[in-house]
Amino acid sequence: MTGISFAPMHATCAAAPGPPSADDLAAAEALLVEDKIGPRDGAGKTAVVAMSGGVDSAVTALLMRERGYRVVGMNLRLFSSDDEDHRANPCCGIPAMDDARATCATIGVPFYAVNMEVEFGEAVVQKFVDEYAIGRTPNPCLECNRHVKFRHLVQRAKQLGADCLATGHYVRLETRNADGNVRMYRALDSGKDQSYVLYTLSQEQLRFLQFPLGRLMKPEVRTLARGYGLPVADKAESQEICFVGNRSYADFVAARRPDVTVPGEIVSESGEVLGQHKGLVNHTVGQRRGIGIAATKPYFVLHLDTAANRLVVGDRDEGRAVSIAVTDVSFTSGAWPDVSFASEIAVRYRGQPARATVLPGSEAERTVTVTFPSGSGPIASPGQAIVFYDGNEVVGGGTIERVSRQGQTAGLAES
């Protein structure tokens, strides 16, 4: 049963820094201006801050406190790894919770832990395994945001009587007085921007959320953490999928679905056999390295044919999308468009944007079709998120269902 509890103390995984110097504090205080951190509008208000145990969420809690809010830190216990001390997945288990708790103690705010392993396992981990097993490319961070973090954290924040939920995501929100809608924009730090995994947020959620890091650069976040002596100021960032940890995603999936490691043929678009693969789970659409065939030219993975257990490879240009069928579409404005519109689209986290036209389909079925000028489409895979941008503004997005590629026979599409 899901519950909220005070967390017990364990050994933390972040080495506590020494006391900040006068220069560190001065550099941090120089960043506490509204253009950087937002207005000092928190007097008499409560903010629940999602605490992951990393430096970004720690500084988020600090900034909300500095803006005058009564801050409550909340950590989600999402996944327990098989190793006893949780070192394989330190950002999901006890070590992360302890670092979040230590940060809250440092800045003098209460801390709660919420056990959501069951919800995370069903909505994120199981879907991750199932999608890879059928040759699709899921995005677990997006699914976690959609089905766990912003669904359950918003609910719990409201149950506590909070006025907002703040997280350490790098994205900007702005309210336009003309329509009252909250608009979402890419973060100023393009290298940290996380708008790609936040397009599913509704207007109701956006009005309750705050992202105070959206106008800061990552080095500035570290400066704030060091200046205020936060215990995670120098904690390294996790680069892996959180629940996979220091294993490969293929090993993680194979441990739960051994059938995905069955060997099969590597073939060209025309069906010529070029080699043997060791299981489709080891490959993703767009992959160039590690395919396992010797050739005089580079090959790219074009398609995972799970029905025949074949890996289809070819030239990069053969893999470029001509059109993409998209399902489960949402628009951040909450309104379904009446006509087609030009957009920049991204099919990967911080992927290179591509110009496209979005043709709205059935609002009831939440579908659109995205088309590209000849030769300009990205290499895309079913299961990936596709996000629509207007400049830096996030317009919406959905899940790729089918991709029609340049290298395919006319009129055919893969699923």
Q: How far apart are CA 107 and CA 354, in angstroms?
A: 43
**What's the rounded Cα separation, in Å, for the pair 269 and 312?**
6
CB atoms within 10 A of CB 270: 8
Asked whether 277 and 292 are in contact (CB, 8 A), the reply is yes
Place of tokens 């809608």: 181
Q: Which of 92, 141, 164, 242 is catalytic?
A: 242
The DSSP element (H or E) to which 181 belongs, if any, is none
User: Hey, which residues does 3 pair with through a beta bridge?
Assistant: none
Tell me, yes or no, if 242 is annotated catalytic. yes
Token digits of residue 189: 């730090």
Pairwise CA distance, residues 80 & 83, whole Å: 8
Give me the residues paired with residue 249 across strands. Answer: none
Structure tokens at 358: 């979005």
DSSP category for residue 385: E
User: Do 311 and 287 form a contact (C-beta atoms < 8 A)?
Assistant: no
Examine the residue annotation and report whether 144 is marked as an active-site residue of this protein.
yes
Q: How far apart are CA 145 and CA 124, in angstroms?
A: 10
Q: Would you say 302 and 269 are in contact if contact means Cβ atoms under 8 Å apart? A: yes
Per the CB < 8 A criterion, the answer to whether 78 and 118 are in contact is: no
Residue 340 in contact with residue 357, Cβ under 8 Å?
A: yes
Tokens of 229: 């002596």
Residue type, 68: G
Strands of the sheet with 209-210, listed across from one edge: 4-5, 111-115, 70-77, 46-50, 164-166, 209-210
Beta-bridge mates of residue 146: none
Closest CA to 350 of 238, 187, 214: 187
Annotated catalytic residue within 13, 141, 144, 164: 144
- Please list, residue by residue across 243-262, b when 16 or more beta carbons sit within 10 angstroms of its beta carbon and e when fewer do: bbbebebbebbbeeeeebbe
Task: Provide the 8-state DSSP code for 291.
Answer: -
Q: Which residues are part of the catalytic machinery? A: 144, 242
